[in-house]
Amino acid sequence: MNGLALAQLLQLLLPLGAQVYNQIRAANSGAGLPDVETLLANADKNWDSVIAAANAEIAKLTPPTP
């Protein structure tokens, strides 16, 4: 199964799986990849987003200190 066929299958069956797949596919296709610094800056932005979301979830489950 090629990438496009898989993406189409995912879109039909698994919306979130398709979303992740499409994000990765979009990041790696097109006329040309962005420059190295843009790609790494995007990666850092994604990591920062993961850290912020994780810390928000952890804070919800951590009792406030008296």
What is the binding site for another protein (CB under 8 A)?
3, 6, 10, 14, 16-17, 19-21, 23-25, 27-29, 32-37, 39-40, 42-44, 46-51, 53-55, 57-58, 61-62
Please tell me the distance from the alpha carbon of residue 3 to that of residue 25, in angstroms, as a whole number: 8
Residue 65 CB, shortest distance to another protein, in Å, is 16
Residue 66 CB, shortest distance to another protein, in Å, is 20
Residue 32 CB, shortest distance to another protein, in Å, is 6
* Interacting residues of 34 by C-beta distance below 8 A, sequence separation 6+: 42
Ranges assigned E (strand) in 1-66: none
